Amino acid sequence: MNRDTPAAGDTGAACYVYGIVPADAAAPTGVRGVGTPPAAVDLLPGGRVAALVSEVDPTKPLGTPDDLRAHARVLDSVVSALVPVLPFRFGSVVDGRRAVADELLGPSEEGFATALASLRGLAQYTLRGSYVEVRVLRDVLAARPDIAALRERTASLPEDTGHYDRLRLGELVAREIGDRGEADVRHLVDTLGPLAVAVARGPDPDPDQPIDVSFLVHHTRWARFEAEAEDLARGWSGRVGIRLLGPLAPYDFAPTAVDGASEGVPGPWV
């Protein structure tokens, strides 16, 4: 708490931190931040880097859908303008502008600057897909006679006696869908991976969303990446519903970039 000697422009208010950008980045215009009403977003420089911040009232809870979208919108708009950014997780609030400059930027300036340099010109694209249910279930039954047979059996069983068979049926179906997801993800990575400098798989296999892969792509390849993703979606139409998010801030890749910078590696993908 340094409120008795506030930094220039320090109003004593808590600072919501969206992320870190190079010091020469232009302040974002026309993008509102988190809070009700939405706060103005500005840059707080510290050496070669700057924090994207807005004032926030720490006594009011954060997390409305508007807050969540605002956090993402601020970061994604920076990347769309070809400015590299290290996104922070939602809800990072620091005790005033002075603390941001002295405690956050000061000690990590070199590491942040190196990580930002490794992300210059790059943005994240995330592809997520789920199967068209009727289609995938038909495909599963056609390919797996054992599952089809179990289905026949459970269909004729009364509700109370067939519980474990039904559970087993659902488990087999979910696993088969998971295996199909694996194969489709491999195809996706083989197809689009060569256009990216790095690829990150989604967290856990989820039969409701078997496809979740992120790509770090240089802006000179954005158009081609989008066109090839569209081709892939056309090839899968009727079977897989697929959505493309991006260009996004490098949510999946920033931690690797910063870890690499702290170990003197200028970004694992350089």
Partner 1 sequence: MTMTVAPRTGHYLDRPSPSGLADVLDLILDKGLVIDVYVRVSLVGIELITIDARIVIASVDTYLRFAEAVNRLDLKQDRTEGLPELMDDMRQGGARRKTRGALEGVKETVGEVIDQVRGRGGEDEDEEEEPQERPRRRPRSSGERRERER
Residues in region 213-232 near partner 1 by CB under 8 A = 219-220, 222-223, 226-227, 229-230
Which token pair is 157? 């069983």
- Site for partner 1 (CB under 8 A): which residue of 22, 207, 265, 269? 207
Q: Which whole-number Å values give the CA distances from 263 to 111, 197, 209, 256, in the listed order?
A: 9, 20, 35, 11
Burial 230-246 (b: 16+ CB within 10 A, else e): eebbeebeeebbbebeb
Return the H-helix or E-strand segment holding 43.
strand 42-46
Task: Compute the least distance from the CB of residue 20 to partner 1, in Å.
Answer: 8
Please give the residues from 75 up to 134 whose contact with partner 1 meets the rule CB under 8 A: 80-82, 86-96, 99, 103-104, 107-108, 111, 126, 128, 130-134
> CA 209, CA 35: separation in Å to the nearest integer?
31
Please give the residues from 2 up to 61 whose contact with partner 1 meets the rule CB under 8 A: 14, 17, 19, 56, 58, 61
Which token pair is 110? 């070199």
> CA 31, CA 15: separation in Å to the nearest integer?
17
Task: Compute the least distance from the CB of residue 139 to partner 1, in Å.
Answer: 10
Task: Compute the least distance from the CB of residue 144 to partner 1, in Å.
Answer: 11
**Beta carbons of 111 and 264 less than 8 angstroms apart:** no
Task: Compute the least distance from the CB of residue 32 to partner 1, in Å.
Answer: 13
Q: Is 73 in the site for partner 1 (CB under 8 A)?
A: yes
Of 21-29, 42-50, 184-192, 252-260, the window that binds partner 1 (rule: CB under 8 A) is: 252-260
- Site for partner 1 (CB under 8 A): which residue of 12, 138, 182, 266? 138
Please give the residues from 140 up to 169 whose contact with partner 1 meets the rule CB under 8 A: 140-141, 147, 151, 154-155, 166-167, 169
Residue 161 burial (C-beta neighbours within 10 Å; 0-12, 13-18, 19+): exposed
Q: Is 191 in the site for partner 1 (CB under 8 A)?
A: no
